[in-house]
Amino acid sequence: MISYNIYIHPNDYKNLRKDIWSEDYVPGFMREGKNKYIIEIAYRGHSIRNHKKKSYTILFQNPHTVKEAHEIHLNAESKDPSFIRNKLSFDFFNSIGVLSPQTQHVLLTVNGQYRGVYLQLESIDEYLLNKRKLADGSIFYATDDDANFSLLTVDDEPKTEILQGYTPKYETGNGRLLFSELILKTNTLTNLEFEDQIPKILDIDKYLKWLAGVVCIQHFDGFDHNYALYHNSSTNLFEISPWDCDGTWGRNRHGKPFNYDAVPIEGYNTLSARLLYIPTFRKSYKKIVEEILNDQFTAEIQSPIIDDLFNILSPYLGKDPFTTNDLSSLDKEKDFILSYIEDRNRYLSNQLKNLS
C-alpha cells in the first residue's frame, strides 16, 4: 500500500483546523516515495468534519497533474467498519458498465502524525475524461437533496433556479442549457413526448444500469444527492456516475445496519419514476436488474473481491489510530455484507414481478 506524507506550515495548519466547515484551501506539499508535489489541501465531506479523523481534497499545483489527475479525494472511511464499502461500490458500478471513479487505499501522515488508512478517489472532472479517453463535456455534481430531477425542492417548494441542487464541476459548450432542458422535459412532457424525446438527451441504458446499481447496494443518498452528470459531447447524451457510496451494502451513512428491504426496486427521484412508467424502459430495466442479480450482485462473486480488499487492509488497520478494527472484526463484517447481498438479492428477485 502506498504512503502519502503531507506537510503543512504550522500557521496554515492552524488556519485549516480553526474552521472545519471552511471550503478554503491551504498550501502544503506531499511526498510519495521519492516524489514531492506542491499541493493545496482542504477538508471535505459533511458530518465527517466533526470526527477526529478528517477527509481531505488535494489539488496538485506543481506539477499541475499527477498520474493524469489534478484533484484527488482522501476519504477517512471512519463510519464504515469494513473500510471497503466505497471501493466495493465503485468497483461494482464499473463492473456493470457505469462510469465511476477509480479508487485505492493509502496510508496518510500529516505533519509527522500518522492518520491511518484512507481511500483515495478520483475526481469526476475533465482530467478523468481525458484519462479515460472520453469525449469532452460538462460535468455537474448533485450537491444537496434538491438534486432530484424535479422542479420542486425536497420540501415540495418551487425551485428558484432550475438547476438548484447542482454545482457545475466543469463547463463547456452549452452543457448548462442542455442540462436545464433535461430537467424541464422530465417535468413537463406528456408520456408519449417523454418516451420519444428523452433518449435524445439521456443515455437510457447507462442511466438504468446506474439505477440498478444504486438499488442493489441501497445507496440511499445516491438518488437525489451524491452523483455526477456528464454530458458526452460525442453522443450528445447525459451519463450519470455515483459518488460517496460509504452508506451501502447493508449499512447507512452513519455505519448503522440498514434493512435489506428499505429501498424499492424502482428506486427514487423524478427522472427514475418517469422512465419506469414507460413500458419499454421498464422492460429494459427489468432485464438489466435480472442480469446484475445473476452475474454480479451475488455472494459468490463478491466474496473473493471482499477477501482481496481485506487482505490488503488487515496488516494496517491495527495501526490506525482511529479504529479498533482487527482481522476478526473484518471477518464479521464480511459475513454481514454477504448476508446482506443474499437477502437483498432474494428481495429484488421477488420484486421483479413489479416491473412486468
What nine digits make up the cell of 86?
Answer: 466505497
CB within 8 A of 320, min separation 6: which ones? 116, 117
Nearest residue to 185 via CA among 151, 213, 209: 151
Q: What is the DSSP string of 310-336?
A: HHHHHHHHTT-TT----HHHHHHHHHH
pLDDT per residue as tens digits for the range 40-87? 999 998 777 777 899 999 999 999 999 999 999 999 998 899 999 999
pTM, two decimal places? 0.95
Q: Which residues pair with 167 in a beta bridge?
A: 141
The set of cell numbers assigned to 291 is 442480469
pLDDT band per the 50, 70, 90 thresholds, residue 289:
very high
pLDDT of residue 254: 87
pLDDT in tens, 122-157: 999 999 999 999 999 999 999 999 999 999 999 999
**Residues above pLDDT 90, as percent of the chain:** 88
Secondary structure (3-state) at 217: helix
Domain residue ranges of the chain, discontinuous segments joined by +: 3-122, 134-297+346-355
**pLDDT > 70: percent of the chain:** 99
CA distance 166 to 238: 14
Tell me the pairing of strands 113-122 and 139-142. unpaired
Nearest CA to 264 out of 275, 273, 274, 255 is that of 273
Residue 33 cell numbers, joined: 516515495
- Give the three-class secondary structure for 59: strand
- Nearest CA among 136, 284, 283 for reference residue 206: 284
The band of 167, judged by pLDDT with boundaries at 50, 70 and 90, is very high
How would you classify the pairing of strands 103-110 and 3-7? parallel
For 121, the 3-state DSSP assignment is strand
Burial category of 237 from C-beta neighbours within 10 Å (exposed 0-12, middle 13-18, buried 19 and up): buried
Find how far residue 74's CA is from the centre of its chain. Answer: 13
Residue 135: DSSP 8-state: P
Cα separation of the two ends of the chain: 47
- Report whether pLDDT(241) > 90: yes
Digit-coded pLDDT (tens) for 314-343? 999 888 888 876 667 888 999 999 999 999
Mean pLDDT of the chain: 95
pLDDT tens readout for residues 4-49: 999 999 999 999 999 889 989 999 999 999 999 999 999 998 777 7
Give the three-class secondary structure for 182: helix
Other CB atoms within 10 A of residue 185 CB: 17
Distance from C-alpha of 173 to C-alpha of 63, rounded to nearest angstrom? 28
